[in-house]
């Protein structure tokens, strides 16, 4: 799915230099309650895969968007990546930047890891990118979440298993 942007942005691989700016965007987009969500448990103490995570910089070199992928493993031994959070600066919303960040992360992941991707989000937004609802009981988050928002995207490789079981942090893939 490709959208035309109405402004110019540079999409760059994530780097530690963008951490403070990305955290500020996440705080603005999701507020203080973001740390209490089940998805946050999968990021706490975990390190994002910077090689498949992206940020967006404006023409003025300001961080205006960020999207990260995090390594996971299930208690059944299946490997996957967890997508999120995705955040776009309020004054840049509605221009397709969030979608471009998702596309960049998915393309990089397909090329570099070949792993399935899991997220908590709206099916209406993510379905065009190949995501579908997780079957009830197939995957378990480390905390309460709306089961209708637990989504996954299959691996582009046929030899990678559909993730099943409790989702856990994996330090490195």
Whether 129 maps to a domain, the answer reads yes
Tens-place pLDDT, residues 84-121: 889 999 888 888 999 999 999 999 999 999 999 999 99
Q: How far apart are CA 67 and CA 79, in angstroms?
A: 20
Flag whether 104 is in a domain: yes
**In this predicted structure, what is the pLDDT of residue 93?**
86
Tell me how far apart the alpha carbons of residues 31 and 27 are, in angstroms, rounded to a whole number: 5
| Region label for 130, one of left (φ > 0), alpha (ψ between -120 and 50) or beta (otherwise) | left
DSSP assignment of 20-85: HHHHHHHHHHH-GGGGGSHHHHTTTT----GGG-EEEEETTS-EEEEEEEEEEEETTS-EEEEEEE
Number of domains the chain is built from: 1
Q: Which residues pair with 119 in a beta bridge?
A: 151
11-15, 66-70, 110-114, 139-143, range with the lowest pLDDT: 139-143
Q: Which contiguous run of DSSP H or E holds residue 166?
A: strand 165-169
At residue 144, the pLDDT reads 83
CATH number at residue 53: 3.40.630.30
**What is the pLDDT at residue 45?**
84
pLDDT at 108: 97
Task: Give the up-direction half-sphere exposure of residue 123: CA atoms within 13 A in the CB hemisphere.
Answer: 10
pLDDT given for residue 84 in this prediction: 87
pLDDT band per the 50, 70, 90 thresholds, residue 3: very low
- In this prediction, residue 7 has a pLDDT band, given cuts at 50, 70 and 90, of low
Whether residue 3 lies inside any domain: the answer is no
- Exposure string of 123-143, with b = 16+ CB inside 10 Å and e = fewer, is eeebeebebeebeeeebbbee
Q: What is the pLDDT of residue 164?
A: 93
* Among 144, 43, 50, 143, CA closest to 84: 43
| 1, part of any domain | no
Residue 94 lies in a domain: yes
Reported as a single tens digit per residue, the pLDDT across 25-82 is 888 877 676 545 677 778 788 999 999 999 999 988 899 999 999 999 999 999 999 9
Q: What is the extent of the structural domain holding 81?
A: 9-169
């Amino acid at each position: 799915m490709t959208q035309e942007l109405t402004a110019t942005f540079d999409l760059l691989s994530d780097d530690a230099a963008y951490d403070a700016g990305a955290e500020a965007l996440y705080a603005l987009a999701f507020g203080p309650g973001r740390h209490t969500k089940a998805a946050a448990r999968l990021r706490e103490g975990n390190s994002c895969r910077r090689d498949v995570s992206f940020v967006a910089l404006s023409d003025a070199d300001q961080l205006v968007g960020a999207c990260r992928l995090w390594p996971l493993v299930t208690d059944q031994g299946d490997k996957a990546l967890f997508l999120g959070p995705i955040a776009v600066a309020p004054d840049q919303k509605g221009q397709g930047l969030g979608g471009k960040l998702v596309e960049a992360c998915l393309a990089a992941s397909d090329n570099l890891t070949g792993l399935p991707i899991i997220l908590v989000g709206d099916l209406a937004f993510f379905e065009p990118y190949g995501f579908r609802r997780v079957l009830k009981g197939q995957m378990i988050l480390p905390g309460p979440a709306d089961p209708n928002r637990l989504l996954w995207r299959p691996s582009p490789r046929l030899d990678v298993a559909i993730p099943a079981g409790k989702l856990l942090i994996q330090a490195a893939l």
